[in-house]
């Protein structure tokens, strides 16, 4: 069953950063909904219908198919919000929003989100700061995919997902992992096999279990730490392996 609105206020770090009055307003007008694994919340270049503040769910941001296959370039979990381009006066998303982790989210209509951004001071400040951080995440992910080794990229993605999943076990298909890394499935099998042999993860039947987070942290590139540092600088906290953020509550 969906989580109560009062609990949502502590589960999503952006909502936790709002003033008490702004937070109460958003929780009053918003609706707590369940998001299912594999659900598309928005297609690329189509009109955004709803804005989502994930609580226990997380959403992958995927490029549309063009000259090459689509690729994951960002991840939005309880640290953020999906539909942020509305702040720019644009009612479409350039990226597809695909639910990679099932769970709950606080959902606002487009009009509710825009009204809050226009009339609620802390809501506007926090969401604008997150827009900046998300743009940085997308840019850093693009650079990471171009310059860093496959093992380091896999480690970064596992850490980012672990932060947002709030559990050591989460669903992950070969197809999506290949899409995330921008490689063929054979490459996915190889690199995941390396991590299993080193007892960093257990991976079978579309499910990953984190066995040794410290070992994964040692294997990842600097991008993971850079992005967490930027989030901390602009939004006042950092993500942890439990999926929560420290120092983000007002």
Using one digit for the tens of pLDDT, what is the confidence trace for 21-55?
999 999 999 999 999 999 999 999 999 999 999 99
Domain that holds residue 99: 5-145
- What contacts 132, CB < 8 A, 6 or more positions away? 234
**Cβ(30)–Cβ(107) under 8 Å?**
yes
With respect to residue 231, please indicate whether it lies within any of the assigned structural domains.
no
Question: In CATH, what number is assigned to the domain containing residue 104?
Answer: 2.60.120.10
pLDDT of residue 239: 58
Mean pLDDT by 10 residues, the chain (250 residues): 61 93 94 95 94 95 75 91 95 93 96 97 96 91 85 91 92 78 74 92 90 95 90 76 36
Is the pTM above the cut of 0.85?
Answer: yes
What phi and psi values does residue 167 have, to the nearest 5 degrees?
Answer: -155, 160
Number of structural domains in the chain: 2
Based on the fold, state whether residues 181 and 118 are members of the same structural domain.
Answer: no
191 and 90, same domain (yes or no): no
Rg (CA), the chain: 17
Same domain (yes/no): 9, 119: yes
Q: Looking at the structure, tell me whether residues 79 and 63 fall in a common domain.
A: yes
The arrangement of strands across the sheet holding 50-54 comes to 31-35, 103-109, 50-54
Q: What was the pLDDT predicted at 1?
A: 47
pLDDT for position 128: 96
Q: Is the dihedral of CA 218, 220, 222, 226 positive or negative?
A: negative
Q: What is the pLDDT of residue 237?
A: 64
Same-domain check for residues 127 and 159: no
Q: In terms of Cα–Cα distance, which of 155, 162, 171, 160 is closest to 219?
A: 155
- The answer to whether residues 248 and 168 touch, using CB atoms and an 8 Å cutoff, is no
* Residues contacting 107, CB < 8 A, separation 6+: 30, 31, 32, 33, 50, 51, 52, 53
Residue 213 lies in a domain: yes
Same domain, 34 and 137: yes
Rounded Cα distance between 110 and 124, Å, is 14
Residues 122 and 190 in one domain: no
**Structural domain contains residue 250:** no
DSSP for 150-210, please give it: HHHHHHHHHHHHHHHHSSSEEE--HHHHHHHHTS-HHHHHHHHHHHHHTTSEEEETTEEEE
Helix axes 121-147, 110-119, angle to 10 degrees: 110
Q: What is the pLDDT of residue 179?
A: 72
Terminal-to-terminal C-alpha distance of the chain: 27
pLDDT of 244 reads 38
Q: Does residue 119 share a domain with residue 42?
A: yes
DSSP of 92-151, one letter per residue?
Answer: B-SSEEEEEE-EEEEEEEHHHHHHHHHH-HHHHHHHHHHHHHHHHHHHHHHHHHHHS-HH
- In terms of domains, do 127 and 154 share one? no
């Amino acid at each position: 069953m969906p989580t109560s609105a009062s609990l949502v206020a502590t589960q999503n770090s952006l909502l936790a950063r709002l003033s008490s009055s702004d937070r109460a307003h958003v929780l009053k007008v918003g609706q707590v909904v369940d998001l299912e694994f594999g659900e598309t919340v928005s297609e690329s270049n189509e009109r955004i219908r709803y804005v989502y503040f994930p609580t226990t769910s997380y959403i992958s941001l995927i490029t549309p198919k063009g000259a090459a296959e689509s690729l994951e370039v960002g991840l939005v979990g309880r640290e953020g919000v999906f539909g942020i381009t509305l702040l720019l006066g644009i009612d479409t998303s350039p990226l597809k929003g695909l639910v990679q982790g099932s769970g709950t989210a606080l959902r606002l209509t487009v009009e509710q989100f825009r009204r809050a951004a226009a009339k609620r001071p802390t809501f506007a400040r926090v969401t604008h700061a997150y827009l900046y951080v998300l743009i940085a995440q997308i840019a850093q992910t693009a650079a990471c995919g171009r310059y860093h080794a496959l093992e380091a990229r896999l480690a970064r993605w596992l850490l980012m997902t672990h932060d947002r999943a709030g559990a050591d076990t989460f669903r992950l298909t070969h197809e999506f992992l290949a899409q995330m890394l921008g490689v063929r499935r054979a490459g996915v099998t190889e690199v995941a096999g390396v991590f299993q042999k080193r007892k960093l993860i257990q991976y079978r039947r579309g499910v990953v279990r984190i066995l040794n987070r410290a070992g994964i942290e040692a294997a990842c590139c600097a991008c993971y730490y850079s992005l967490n540092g930027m989030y901390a600088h602009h939004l006042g906290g950092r993500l942890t392996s439990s999926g929560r953020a420290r120092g983000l509550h007002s």
